[in-house]
Structure 1
């Protein structure tokens, strides 16, 4: 099948992305050929173009952390009934294309009637939010959490999943996004307010059952201080060090060390870094867990209990503009590429 792909050739500005056309081989054993209907621009790709994503492949490569599409053909060993079905997959790379070869074990069915772009917004964002909330932090019904970046792709999904689970949410965002954050059911705080830690504490004097921090950097200490006894700090990024020069792994390793130290301290609180790919070596168990969690998220989306936060739909060939928009800080939700 002919495929158009967006290639990241090296450390470049968005305009440096390249468009490539090529013929894809037939799917091999255990593979499926998927005609892509939607892929997204996440923080991972923003880091990859800077050469700062922790374990990204060598340049050049096709970005695209996740995708939604229809199965065109399957390879040997794959159930032929999969052909023609709409599916989603977390791919890490390769999603920014009109077609992609995917391990059939990584495919998750998308419910009938769900718009591909809407489904795309909750693939990696939905799995990330679900697993952080329910598998890592294990926040109980009636608890209170703090979500940094509550207007973002993961943040807005996390707010909705928490509210559906009967959890109170306080979320940080710029003032222009406060109305949207309130509409999702969270209590907003200006993320640039110098009194943010004090205001967050005032809204939960006994501390938070869960604090979800994608910012990292020095501010992670304030997040830790806001966690109540029995609660958890879940870190899932280091946006504060996005533009820091030098070894891209150093800020992340520093963050890992700090979280490990806190987690080992006998203070009744937990701290950890969320890694979607943890347990990947036990491939079957990893795929089953991801399939279960994403199926739960899709069920909420199909039922209307979760609203897709589509910030913009941008043609695949205009990926450079999509990246600029996603990095602008002016949008709420996820920028979606449409082949």
Structure 2
């Protein structure tokens, strides 16, 4: 009986404590499905926050984590185009990617061009797609509008900086460290607010100064808690705040904040866009992002460390280390090396 390794958790908690390596029987793909042998998967905050129990109402235990990754089509089911065999693809909208094999819908896998290596391809989903959809669909912005984004030293913050420049918005990047300032400016941010600088006024005062008292047209919060609340008061009257994450683990009472700040608040869930997107839109949107990467107009995070699935506990600790300087990948045994 052929088996393969997978990471699973049976209860919520600290990822380094609750994630376990188990073995499963290899399944044959059904009609319209492909079997993908995974080669690389990034570790994102969005992978780990559910493990901690932030969304128990929509996570069924036991669960295999991992929203994105890249692999090679190893087998196909009935009615699947044989040309997919041996192709590198993103097996998205399937079961968790933190396993050696993933069964996915053949019409939803995203083919990966030969000139995009696994390090780039495995990061193409969560952060780039979230940033693209927010800036092009969720927000009603005009060229030149200011957009304030917190946690901007993160992977998605760097993507917001680049896409804002591409799309013509002016990004106010909010960070907690001066080490991000020059990089964000070089990537396309219009201004950087470093909250670790003792000379920096409040975020609201800094944003109002940059925008000549008007406030930003929109703000994007990845942190929640007090940081998210502060961001709402940085927008202009009738401005928009979009909440996309909860890095602090502290929720915001957005209804109260919206009334007090006279700001419209939207809770953005990528899964809702994914659910409603047609197959055509799904592939077209990835095509746009891949084009930007191939044109060297959009760059994704560098890879700092690689771990095998069996080393998942060390991997998640490394991914959350404050000094981490890039993405941590979970890779197959033949692709493990520390950069």
The TM-score, its normalising length taken from structure 1, stands at 0.85
Alpha-carbon distance, 1:54 to partner = 5.5
- Residues 261-301 of structure 1, C-alpha deviation per residue, up to 9 Å, x if partnerless? 659x9x6x64311111115555xx44433322222111111
Summarize deviations over 1:281-335 as a string: whole Å, max 9, x none: 55xx444333222221111111111112124232233222221122223235532
Counterparts of 1:229 and 1:79 in 2: how far apart (Å)? 53
Q: 1:65 Cα deviation (Å)?
A: 1.0
Distance 2:96 2:324 in 1: 24
Q: Which residue of 1 aligns with 2:330?
A: 337
- Secondary structure of the corresponding residue to residue 106 of structure 1: coil
Find the residue that maps to 2:271 and give its secondary structure: coil
Match for 1:212 among 202, 220, 232? Answer: 220
Closer/same/farther in 2, CA of residues 202 and 54 from structure 1, 3 Å limit = farther
Q: TM-score with structure 2 length normalisation?
A: 0.85
Larger RCO of the pair (alpha carbons < 8 Å, separation 6+): 1
Which whole-Å CA distance do the structure 2 matches of 1:212 and 1:311 have between them?
Answer: 25
Measure, in 2, the Cα distance between the counterparts of 1:172 and 1:336.
Answer: 26
- SS state at 2:319 partner: helix
Q: Aligned residues, how many? A: 323
Structure 1 residue 2 displacement after superposition: 4.2
Contact 2:203–2:234 (Cα < 8 Å) also in 1: no
Give the Cα–Cα distance (whole angstroms) in 2 for the partners of residues 192 and 164 of structure 1.
Answer: 28
| Distance in 1 of aligned mates of 2:202 and 2:137 | 31
Report the 3-state secondary structure (helix = DSSP H, G, I; strand = E; otherwise coil) of the residue aligned with 1:122: coil
1:156 maps to what in 2?
A: 158
**Pick aligned residue for 2:116 from 103, 110, 114:** 114
Map of 1:304 onto structure 2: 296
User: 1:126-275 to 2 correspondence within 5 Å?
Assistant: 126-173=128-175, 174-186=177-189, 187-192=191-196, 195-205=202-212, 206-229=214-237, 231-240=239-248, 242=249, 251=251, 254-255=253-254, 257-258=255-256, 270-275=264-269
Distance 1:322 1:153 in 2: 17
